[in-house]
A and B are shown apart, each in its own frame.
Chain A
């Protein structure tokens, strides 16, 4: 039996390695200096879905909500093996908290067609909330398996999954369809395939066509480009509010029950700092001082 999978992914600013360059003198952060990346655990989710397809057959559809730039993670998903990708992008979706986001994703999943499994990363590194997966599951009425580490078996309409926590693990059996949130220890995501990278080089959302035309002047008109892309299945569709059966009051900033009251930048107070030379003598003096102050020993 084959299984239809939907993978929910997010493009995030890379908050993991904030170096000196990103921090300003005031101790605040220059966000634009952070690269936009494929949320790491969403890659684990995609890998898990691809492995299900390889073993049992079926299709992997990848869905993301974000600005046009988020088409980058969809291309990345195609390079890694996704069958179909969809960008949810509309000004009305912007500023959504997890409640409004999960509502929008739910409407898109329902439009995307029949599915057996929904995969998402456990959490995104920009918010670390781990909320959207369970919130989507609730809105669709699916059971959820959070912290999924491996699929032990998949037979007919039943899945057995190993869940992994910091301090333990759990083996659960669940009926399909269901939603899984995947942890980073689940697998090692495959790299982009060179062959697919070439095949999908021109994959684009319609809003990117003018840029493509500039890069590839051999397509004389947008029509010609469009025809070329359509024939090769390289059009990445954008779904807007108008493409979904959706209650506009539940979208974006105005549909979000949470509001940000205030934001404080964390400013680290510089301490009295002593520079130690990275030599045997320098380190010896440091240890001597710490011993004298009863910090060590």
Chain B
């Protein structure tokens, strides 16, 4: 039997809606399957989710495995892992892709560990290509190139899993483009009856509250972002004020989030949102690549930093060497003047 080259995508749903990253992965899966001459399968788990299967096909799947069971109503590690592992063993997919959401990052390592296969976290790109293992002088055709920033975002690594199947990766939400639904697409839907063991129910969800995002960084025309150089709540208020009068959003580097100045919803960079606003003001941000890769495509970038050699100045259009506590009030005043 020749090895299957099929690509599986884990379809994550929240209260009966398929989340965006799963649709993004279906589109990418289709692109990769075209190269491999194989199929895209969606693995859809939940309860009372039958009607979602067609949507999975419309977004790029050739086949959908639907596992509908009351025990799968809310995501839980063990029942979901059981279903995925059983189906992987039965069908032996070539590639298995999962969105790097909290649930996806909980599930993927569990499956990879059970199967002792390689897993790459938080990929920002996926490609198909060949690989030669130098030590064994062995050549591998058509592997999945799992591309991700590493080491705090300062390097971009391409990882391969030459020997183990499926080749597994989680992919960051928002970095790939979903296809619009094509209602003429046809595919197979197969219902699967799960076989649980009592140990799969060691954990019970007592309550779950999810809320809508309150920050929309992706669509903000102007972003004023705080970094580690913003030292106090007072300085942070200046950031908020400037963002407010410019009609923009507040962004943040990881350092500002780690310092507890602002919630991680505002984070921009490798771990966080990727943005391209008309104007980006980086206040007290050193410009670790972790951050820069999430904002360097902005139309205009103003960077404020006390360190004249800070890496942020390498991506900036306007360089202001100074303290945010002094420069921000000047900016606020100048913008206010203009508005008059």
Q: Which residues of A contact B (CB under 8 A)?
A: 13, 15-21, 23, 27-29, 31, 40, 97-99, 102-103, 125-139, 141, 143-147, 160, 165-175, 178, 184, 250, 256-266, 268-280, 282-284, 286-288, 290-291, 293, 295-297
Contacts of B337 in A (CB 8 A): 284, 287
Cβ-defined contact, B202 with A178, below 8 A: yes
Closest 5 CB pairs of A and B: A15-B152, A278-B322, A20-B309, A257-B118, A168-B210
Q: DSSP majority for the B interface?
A: mixed
B residues 135-185 with Cβ under 8 Å of A? 145-146, 149-164
CA–CA, A71 and B119, complex, Å: 29
Contacts of B153 in A (CB 8 A): 15, 266
Contacts of B326 in A (CB 8 A): 278
Cβ-defined contact, A172 with B335, below 8 A: no
Contact with A264, one of B155, B163, B208, B299 (Cβ below 8 angstroms) = B155
Contacts of B87 in A (CB 8 A): none
Cβ-defined contact, A131 with B119, below 8 A: yes
Contact flag A168-B310 (CB < 8 Å), given A126-B152, A134-B106: no
B120 located at the interface, meaning its Cβ lies under 8 Å from any Cβ of chain A in the complex: yes
Q: DSSP majority for the A interface?
A: mixed
Contacts of B50 in A (CB 8 A): none
Cβ-defined contact, A102 with B315, below 8 A: no
CA–CA, A291 and B335, complex, Å: 9
Kindly supply a per-residue 1/0 record for chain B positions 314-340, scoring 1 wherever the CB is within 8 Å of any chain A CB and 0 otherwise: 111111111100110011011101110
CA–CA, A263 and B155, complex, Å: 7
Contact with B206, one of A125, A160, A276 (Cβ below 8 angstroms) = A160
Contact with B110, one of A31, A138, A257, A290 (Cβ below 8 angstroms) = A138
Q: Which residues of B contact A (CB under 8 A)?
A: 77-78, 81, 102, 105-106, 108-110, 112-114, 116-122, 131, 133, 145-146, 149-164, 199, 202-213, 222, 228, 246, 254-255, 258, 263-265, 270-271, 278-279, 286, 288-290, 292-293, 296, 299-302, 304, 307, 309-311, 313-323, 326-327, 330-331, 333-335, 337-339
Cβ-defined contact, A258 with B110, below 8 A: no
Contacts A262-B157, A263-B150 aside, 15 further interface pairs with beta carbons under 8 A come to A17-B228, A18-B311, A21-B309, A127-B151, A137-B110, A144-B77, A166-B102, A166-B263, A167-B211, A170-B207, A172-B203, A173-B206, A261-B158, A290-B279, A296-B335
Cβ-defined contact, B157 with A276, below 8 A: no
Contact with B150, one of A127, A138, A141, A277 (Cβ below 8 angstroms) = A127
CA–CA, A23 and B265, complex, Å: 28
